[in-house]
Amino acid sequence: MRESVRCCPGRRDKAHSTWESGSSPGLPLPLRLRGLRVPGSPGAPARARVSSGLRRGQPGRDALSSGRPARPLCRAGGDTGASGSASPPAVEPAPQLKRNSFPSMNFEAEILTTPHDNSDLYMIPSMRSLTAEEYVEAFKAFLDHSTEHQCMDEFNKDQMPNIVAGLGAGKSTLSVLGVGSGTGEQDLKMIRILQAVHPGVFIDNEIVEPNPQHVAAYKELVNQAPDLQNVSFIWHQLTSLEYEQQVKERGTHKKFDFIHMIQMLYRVEDIPSTIKFFHSCLDHHGKLLIIILSDSSGWASLWKKHRDCLPATDSGHYITCSGITEVLRGLGVQHRVYELPSGWDITECFVEGDAVGGRMMDFLTGTKNFLGTAPPALRQQLQEALCQPECSSTRDGRVIFSNNLSMIVAES
Ligand SMILES: C[S@@+](CC[C@H](N)C(=O)[O-])C[C@H]1O[C@@H](n2cnc3c(N)ncnc32)[C@H](O)[C@@H]1O
């Protein structure tokens, strides 16, 4: 493990960007229809208009509450395209069109078809982002085939006891806040370390997590755990920005001894202001732990050198460790970085028709059924990029993508 220490005493509250609202993680883009054609009359334009209750940029909870992917209504020929442009095609309706409405859970589509026969109109859904439900599946496929959590376990074992030893300065209750906690496995590990290092202390644990399925799974995990008697849990099913806004509206700024943001900053609206806000929630002698992809990871190379292979449906931030430490330096916050190796076995991503490989590609691209909806050239380009030595290595015939992590510990 490589460890580096970066201390930036001095200025505080220097760098700050504007508050930004509205951008939303992981929402499905509205179903896009392109070049819809009526079979049997090639080239005959039919106008398709899809209006969605969801906007790209709308807070995630609308999508999360219905969680339904837009269902294909019909199949259409034409280019599905690699671009993420959400504009419907600028095709004028043929004069004799008939209006059919297809309401669904989270969008309403109107398809204008020729009147005589619309029975075999069909459409292939174009590329779109993952819904909350699909993200859960894709993330699971990633976790099952990577050493992400094992890497965190190593850090927990070797470093965390020292890191949390000074927290609370003798208080009888430690306040902990998990942001983007997912299904809670990492959170409970942190709590158990705190219990071991501070025996008898009560732990007041709050969680900010927008995905209802993750919240439900976290609660279930807590229900099954026999050793959490001295721990209280409060879940806020919110994005970090929604939580921040709530805190500011109420004017109650609760302070925490330990805050962690583990592998979640990719999806927040504004990274510098999010870090600034949560850092301001630390109590004296508190610590903020940020776990993020390392600059040495395959992700960093993919995002820097092969960004053109990634679809626009991949709506997150391409951020790695140096992006975060730059923010901390700007805030004048003392921090320390630990680098740990981690790998992700992506061999199945190259096996035609492999379901797990498909879900892992969805996780990698933030796109539903990337292998089935991306234009073949884009698919091939991305698969080739993944095999480049700066992204992955081959071990015993397996393709291992570098998933190296950086653990950043910031002081209050
Ligand atoms: C990659 S998972 C990491 C989960 C967990 N921390 C772990 O390491 O296992 C990212 C988590 O961040 C959550 N998330 C996404 N956007 C968020 C936002 N704007 N605010 C808070 N959490 C968010 C997701 O729902 C997801 O549970």
Looking at residue 76, its amino acid is: A
How much is the average pLDDT of 80-95? 31
- What's the pLDDT score for residue 85? 29
Per-residue pLDDT at 72 = 24
| pLDDT over threshold 70, residue 25 | no
More confident of the two residues 311 and 384:
384
Residue 75 has pLDDT above 90, yes or no: no
- Judge whether 113 lies within some domain: yes
Q: Is the pLDDT of residue 76 over 90?
A: no
**110 and 181 part of one domain:** no
Nearest residue (by CA) to ligand 1, atom 15, is 267
Ligand 1, pocket-test mutation among 143, 188, 267, most atoms within 8 A of CB: 267
pLDDT digits (tens, 9 = 90+) for 265-280: 998 999 999 999 999 9
Cα 318 to averaged position of ligand 1 atoms, centre (Å): 15
Per-residue model confidence (pLDDT) at position 125: 62
Distance between Cα 236 and ligand 1 center (Å): 13
Residues with a CB atom less than 6 Å from ligand 1? 25, 139, 179-182, 185-186, 208-211, 214, 239-240, 262-264, 267-268
Find the CATH number of the domain harbouring 248: 3.40.50.150
Establish if 213 belongs to a structural domain: yes
Residue 14 has pLDDT above 50, yes or no: no
**Do the domain assignments include residue 99?**
yes
Ligand 1 atom nearest to CA at 214: 27
169 occurs within a structural domain: yes
Based on the domain organization, do 254 and 327 belong to the same domain? yes
196 with 85, same domain: the answer is no
User: Higher model confidence: residue 311 or residue 336?
Assistant: 336
pLDDT digits (tens, 9 = 90+) for 332-367: 999 999 999 999 999 999 999 999 999 999 999 999
Please tell me the predicted confidence (pLDDT) of residue 365. 94
Same domain for 123 and 141, yes or no, is no
21 in a structural domain: no
Query: Distance from the CA of 262 to the center of ligand 1, in angstroms?
Result: 8
Distance 74 CA to ligand 1 centre (A): 34
Give the atom of ligand 1 at the shortest distance from the alpha carbon of 208: 21
Are 46 and 192 found together in one domain? no
Task: Please check whether residues 319 and 352 belong to one and the same domain.
Answer: yes
What is the residue with the minimal CA distance to atom 18 of ligand 1?
A: 239
State the distance from the centre of ligand 1 to the C-alpha of 64, rounded, in angstroms: 13
pLDDT surpassing 90 at residue 329: yes
In the chain, how many domains are there? 2
The model's confidence at residue 83, banded by pLDDT at 50, 70 and 90, is: very low
- At 121 the pLDDT is 53
Residue where a domain stops, chosen among 89, 111, 127: 127
Q: Which domain holds residue 37?
A: 27-127
**Averaged pLDDT score across all residues of the chain:** 76
pLDDT at 134 (0 to 100)? 93
Residue 44 has pLDDT above 60, yes or no: no
So what's the pLDDT on residue 169?
A: 85
**CA–CA gap between residue 245 and residue 270 (Å, rounded):** 13
Spacing, Cα 107 to ligand 1 middle (Å): 25
User: Based on the domain organization, do 121 and 171 belong to the same domain?
Assistant: no
Task: Please choose from 191, 238, 264 the residue to mutate so as to test ligand 1's pocket, defined by most ligand atoms within 8 A of CB.
Answer: 264
- Over residues 26-53, mean pLDDT: 27
Where does a domain end: 111, 127, 143? 127
- 188 and 303 share a domain? yes
Q: Give a yes or no: residue 85 inside a domain.
A: yes
Same domain assignment for residues 354 and 384:
yes
Task: Based on the fold, state whether residues 223 and 195 are members of the same structural domain.
Answer: yes
Query: Which of 127, 155, 177 represents a domain boundary (last residue)?
Result: 127
On whether residue 233 sits in a domain, the answer given is: yes
Residues 46 and 141 in one domain: no
Quick one: what percent of the chain has pLDDT higher than 90?
64
Q: Specify the pLDDT at position 124.
A: 55
How many whole angstroms from 91 Cα to the centroid of ligand 1? 39
6 pLDDT above the threshold of 50: no
Give the whole-number percent of the chain exceeding pLDDT 70: 70
Give me the pLDDT at residue 68, please. 26
What's the mean pLDDT in 318-324? 96
Whether residue 22 lies inside any domain: the answer is no
Tens of pLDDT, residue by residue over 201-214, are 999 999 999 999 99
Q: Are residues 327 and 223 in the same domain?
A: yes
Ligand 1 centroid to residue 90 C-alpha, Å: 37
Task: Give pLDDT tens digits for 114-143.
Answer: 334 444 455 556 899 999 899 999 999 999
Q: What is the pLDDT of residue 181?
A: 97
The residue that leads in pLDDT, 243 or 31, is 243
Banded model confidence at residue 159, pLDDT cuts 50, 70, 90:
very high
